Homo-oligomer: A and B are copies of this chain.
Amino acid sequence: MSEWILAVDGGGTSCRAAVATASGQIVGRGLSGAANILSDPATARRHILAATENACREAGIDPAMVSSMPALLGLAGSNVGDVAAQIAAALPFARTDIVSDGLIALQGALGDADGTMAILGTGTVYFTRDGGRVRTLGGWGFQVGDQGSGAWLGHALLQQCLLAFDGVRPGSALSAAVLAEFSGDPGAIVSFARAAQPSDYGRFAPRVFEALAEGDAVAADLVKAAATAIDAALDAAAGKGSAPICLLGGLSSLYAPHLAARHRARLVAPLADALTGAVALCAARLTAAGQREA
């Protein structure tokens, strides 16, 4: 085994890697493109390798050395079918552990402590470590889940625009502005929605918070409904104890002031990022394996 270890944080927009000492001190970092193992495993493998080789170069280590290093990868989509096993088999590392992107984010955010991490971005998902055991809540995706997510909020806004157009619900400056962006044509909203991906809806989410700050009534109703859904998920995920709750994701700071007081009182800032969490998990597993061998 090498004196070095590798950690990877791979997702749909980029792949980040770190090379670290066996005890977890990062000595080099590398970046590359998307590592979407579900939609494009071949490109994902290439970008994982590029990121790890870039990390070696920054550390002044021969990139060919990765074949002697143990690696831990936190990858989005790794819980689906056998894609993780296929990617692991196609990588040259001395040993390849693949875990979910959520697990490395949880490790980064909370370290070894118990607590709950909520990722509030285009989607929503909750991870809780309780007595060392990790459980997941939500993360089912936009079609039948992700209540309160950016996609959910943008989608709900477009629904309100149509209901306001029909006179079924009161409109507001926000709903009027959005309808105007669709040339005042509700059919254009319908056409947009037929082709929209969750990220397309999610782009409207920051607008809702901006309008809320200006006192917009439609925005206030939407954020209230979304925050209520997130509070309900946090009640189930984090329970009634006092373990910390850490909010991550692009909407985390926007939602924080709107959550229930029982949750706001438990909010903590993340200790570190997901890549740091992956390094820590890799080092810990290496230590555990060494202890089993000893």
Considering the chains assembled together, what is the distance between the CA atoms of A254 and B293 in angstroms?
67
Which residue on chain B has the smallest CB distance to residue A156?
B144
Considering the chains assembled together, what is the distance between the CA atoms of A106 and B138 in angstroms?
44
Number of copies: 2
Are A145 and B162 interface neighbours, CB within 8 A? yes
Number of residues of chain A lying within 8 A (CB) of chain B: 27
Identify which of residues 159-176 in chain A touch chain B, using a CB-to-CB cut-off of 8 Å: 159, 162-163, 166-169
Q: Which of B138, B147, B166, B232 meets A236, CB within 8 Å? A: B166
> A47 an interface residue at 8 Å Cβ cutoff?
no
Q: How far is the CB of A238 from chain B (nearest CB, A)?
A: 12
- Contact mask for chain A residues 137-168; partner B; CB cutoff 8 A; 1 contact, 0 none: 11011011101000000010011001100111
Identify which of residues 19-61 in chain A touch chain B, using a CB-to-CB cut-off of 8 Å: none
> A177 an interface residue at 8 Å Cβ cutoff?
no
Which residue on chain B has the smallest CB distance to residue A143?
B193
Are B233 and A194 interface neighbours, CB within 8 A? no
Chain B residues near A168 (CB-CB < 8 A):
137-138, 232-233, 235-236
